[in-house]
Structure 1
């Protein structure tokens, strides 16, 4: 058994041998339970936790549960098409994987397994600057890959990452703009979380010997690494420079205020991701879904709008579309699938989302993404 608590087949080592990911997993929460069983406590806390008292982490799910859809009737839904086009590329459904650091923590193949599953599902895979596999290897899988960029203190190294992403054939560049430093994540602080040997930021020259691998007397080593590597001086000037220097579609991730979304569109950004970093940055920030409709209304057709933070099901995807999103990013469920069953687990997550979304489309009277964006919503109090 390795550090992740998995057997050679990539299934939870403590599970019954008859456990089967296709037969026994019927919603993403089933994989959440399997992942929690498979992972050490400190790794589980790293991927499941949020910042501070985890108010915003909980708010993301609570806000999605408050949204009620108003279905339409007597519409031909014999064929419900999930396909859409984002940034000039066709994809099988309005979903992409969210950028997630250090996926080697939960499975030996790390990002490569998820990239293969995303390719098979016909959706983009977003590779993080802090991927545990090099961007060239991830892009080499052959699917649609977006590269998520953190702005480093080393400006030259930042643009070298952009050039590597372009050379590797990435289809879009996603700049995260809500991490001047890592939010105070109390689970990691209490666990004095440190990356184990063999898991590193493979895209960074200092990845194998970074602050993230050095245990500290107190606090999170990963947070210390972020503090040392990332700049806290990122401004619109850098966004404008990046827009000038890359030919790729440019997406800003971490936008919650409509005024910021408007400025992004005016700067020539191709898309914004409405996100509070899954509740891992400013605790007390607005739930991402509660900011979505105002952002979408502000930018109109001037740039694409995606939602991140809290997506767990096809119903959640439909809610996001109805409130103005063009697509969503899915994060933690991808890690649950990866931890529980490797590529098969991620594939199961994406299959479930497609199955649930098609079901939601039909029952809501939508024959496709355009119709889904016209569904009315009501926010309740539950």
Structure 2
């Protein structure tokens, strides 16, 4: 799919890092195949092997893998550009790319031994991630015993490892206080159960992972408290890429999926409005309608504004990482608020465009109906929820304690 709404290069050349593999150009090149495979993935409720292979060949599964393991350590604006193009062709592929890339970013924060275990097989070795700590843990010599169920685990059927949320009872003698963490477990030690039956983002394969007794050595544990502030065990001697704050980096990448979906809808409307009429009006071409002209312009301006905001967030996150700056809670809450704003605005732009297109957008053979379902499902993700995002930011601005969330 060729998108006119997504520029080939970032609006500003600043912030872009020259790459041996250009992820943006590669993403654009594989977009037609992804669009072709999209309905097959939907029917199977997971990405096709052809889609995953194309993503790997295009370098999309190594953008945030450390260079020493053959990865790209790509800057955030470039990752946004590439993931948006993938999402324009197949939102589920864009979502899974985002989840697996963010997990790579998290693995880059772990101790060097854990990184070696994951990427010794190659830079395209994928890791899925679920933050929700629906599990228990027990301290044992050398690490932890973990039991639990985690869902939804997007992309888990294409991953070799999983990063899973776990509460750690660091010292039961201290009143049972727990620390929130993510632990790295091989997929070979987990059971995958088909449970993803949502009407949107069907092909993400966001199924359930489970273990009744997994041993996790200490070097595969990432304590989220320090990581939220930009302090990681794996950052000693690591490049700037893996020093950026955890949640602002992940939520900024998430913006790309919403941008891609909104931009693809704009492309469809622009491509058809010159030949498609408005039923029960005198307009034989929708493009001649002043109402359509205004709605399309408003949607395009909204996408442009959200595109600029996403790039601004990406540059800010990268600046924190490059300079070793640890952002304040208010700074991190602002990026969380931006994420919800981008999701909500892209959803509104999409709805405007679908109204311009008309009811035929919801024919099962029309790709717009799948984009509508995907947008309305994905934009309700907890991290992108504008209701909680704006409250988190508002409380931070006003100095109201405590925050309603820990993942900021």
Q: TM-score, normalised by structure 2?
A: 0.26
Structure with the bigger percentage of helix: 2
Q: TM-score, normalised by structure 1?
A: 0.27
